[in-house]
Structure 1
Amino acid sequence: MKTKNISDRAAFLIKQEEELKKLRKQSFLIFKNVSDGITVQNRKGIIFANQASLEFTKVSLNKSTKNFKYFNEKGISINWNNLPAGRVLNEKVEVQGLYKVVNKKTGEEFWLNIKSMPIFDQDKKLIEVITISRNITSHMLEDEMKNNFLRLIAHELRTPITSIKAFSQILERMNNSSKDKKTMKYFQKMDIQISKLSDLIDTLLNVTKLKQKIPFKDKWFSFDLFVKKDISEIQKGLNKHKLILIGKTSKKFFGDKEKISQILKNMINNAVKYSPRGKKVIITLSGENNSLKVAVRDFGIGISPRHHKKIFKQFYRIYGKKENLFPGVGIGLSVSKEIADRYGAKMWVKSREGKGSIFFLSLPVRKSKKL
């Protein structure tokens, strides 16, 4: 009986080993044939690379990291230790990023989205790093072409729009003494619409500048005074809505005034735009130890929860009976979000249809001298 139990146990272990070998073979075939590059490495070097990763580099396994230069999104050259795999070996945490890779010999360039993850043993000791690389070169080229097109269109439109605006203002001044109130009203409406078109062109140019990662002009400034000034400027152009400021941060912020103003104005202008029957927009400021928060509340048409994340994407528009009444191309919030991302800030919305919206901006702050 004892011999039979040992025999059964041995048969079970053999079967388990066969199943494990089969599973390893299947996993190997999957890793080998997926379109994403997959590598496994330890502190001595790469111990496994699938076909896709070798096709990215077009060199042998042992030379795959030596023949290339790596650059981050800002175009700054980085060494291997600062790539995701190198950082995981040192920091033992998951790391992901976009990188431009240049072949030193051929000059060929390609873009990779690289994600590296640590593998630990039973004692929680780091033994290996698995890296998944996705070739996004075609996507980056398409994005570059789109941005070049937007920049070209914006530049080509800016000159004639500036001329049209100047001529309309001259005509308005020439007819300023005219008793024909109807004509003057037309001139004023024309000037308003030209200004809107000019703002749209500026927004398109800002989109392309952000994509080019042009450095911001950061400096210290009083955040509360800055917000009050922006609100005052916006209020001058409003007829129906009253802008109400509540709270304060009592903090200085290190950033580009023009860019932060762009976010704030977009938040407030959207609040006014999408609450045509509303009479007020409430802007609330609050500050914590390491951050300051701006909340802009309107009492307008609101936004369905299913759109909350999507509205921050470029060119995203909500289509419906109510939304179609408001012109726009879906750029403002995406530009604001991209600026916020550059500062490590967060933007989000709380809203329900018919109940108005509250848009939030949370900015991390550096330590500075008290005001």
Structure 2
Amino acid sequence: MKSAATLKFRILVSHVLAVLFSLAAAAFLVDSSLVPGPVMRAHFVAVLFLSVLFALAVGWVTGMLVSRQFGEIVAGSKKFAAGDFSYRIPVGSSGELKKLSETLNFMAGEIGGKIREAELRRLELEAAFRDMSEAILIADGAGIITRINPGARRLMGVKGFDPEGMRLSAMPGGAELSSAAIKALSSGKPVSFELEPASAQGTVLSVNASPIIENGTVGGCVLVARDITGPRKLEEMRRDFVANVSHELKTPLTAIKGCAETLLGGALEDREHGPGFARSIYEQAGRLDNLVNDLLKISYAESGRDAAERTSVDLKALAADAAAGLTAMMAKKKVSFLNLVPAGCAVSADRDKLSQVLINLLDNAVKYNREGGEVKISSSVESGFVKISVEDTGPGIAPEHLARIFERFYRVDKARSRELGGTGLGLSIVKHLVELHGGLTGVESVEGRGSAFWFTLPVPK
């Protein structure tokens, strides 16, 4: 308000000087006898005195009004300088100060809007930086970390300390990322590559380092690391799947082609050996048919379009039906079957899909059992789920194979599996169908004593 008081003082001094000038002029006129007669002089002096008082009063009021408006402008400007752009300067009635107040208010509104917009953009970028799954960190020209998001903290194992202000090369697992930053800083160009960090074996990262260029010079870089382990594993699985399917198709096709060529070469007329070649073609065609059917089943199960039409299913009766279809195979190997599922035991499941699961497990239990062995199925209720177990007395499975036993085309004994007509997809189909019901699958095995494959299904509500 000091400036307003100063302005008011200046205005008042100006009026006083004007009045003094008028008085001096009036005195000159009186002394020079330009105003005739003493009475006229007295009247002139009185009018002049009143005029001086009026001029002083008008000057005082004008100074007060102008200084107040100017003071409000100064106070408003200080609020704008402090960042309060929501404040508005009271606008005077007229004059240049009114225009100045309106201009300053308009400017404050525009600046406030721009600042709000910039703050919104900042919050959006901050949220993206914080919540992105990719690891993002920013380093200056000397390789010092200035910003790091939670994804990068997790990737680099940051616990118990603040990495901002540290050298990138000093971070856990930061040596590889530091090399990317150095390349980007030195070349001034983006750098991209893939790496497996020593601190996370088996993890594959896609790393991108982009330089930050300001006024033609590189002042830092932004590092973005994305975990592509999943996509890489899927790609590897796809290649393995194509290779396995090709191999599984080629084996029976080669046998069919060989038998067909033999028959065309004259064996067709050979009553002793001809039927054997025809039988082999029929068996290999059946093997191809089984493989294609299993591929269609697992493809549909993995597509996400498959759905379980749940009903209450009598487990003991369904197990008996599944075993009945394997009577000839069990008789051939002299394998006995025990249905130990309690009477009245029911599960919430799709009857057809559960039947497929039981058939696949019982078929494997008989197929890989020893001659004269035993297969039994049992169940128990655990925490709202029914655990169904299919046990055999076969050779068992070595521990190193158990973790991968439900993978597609995985076989413990490849030669024996193909000899017995297996496609390598049965257990994978079992796993997908059980998971479709919200259940789990597993296996327990002791070499030389047999295996027990189990799965869980919910109890009917």
> Given the two structures, how large is their TM-score scaled by the length of structure 2?
0.41
From the CA coordinates, give the structure whose radius of gyration is larger: 2
Q: Which has the larger share of helix?
A: 2
> Given the two structures, how large is their TM-score scaled by the length of structure 1?
0.50
Q: Which has the larger share of strand?
A: 1
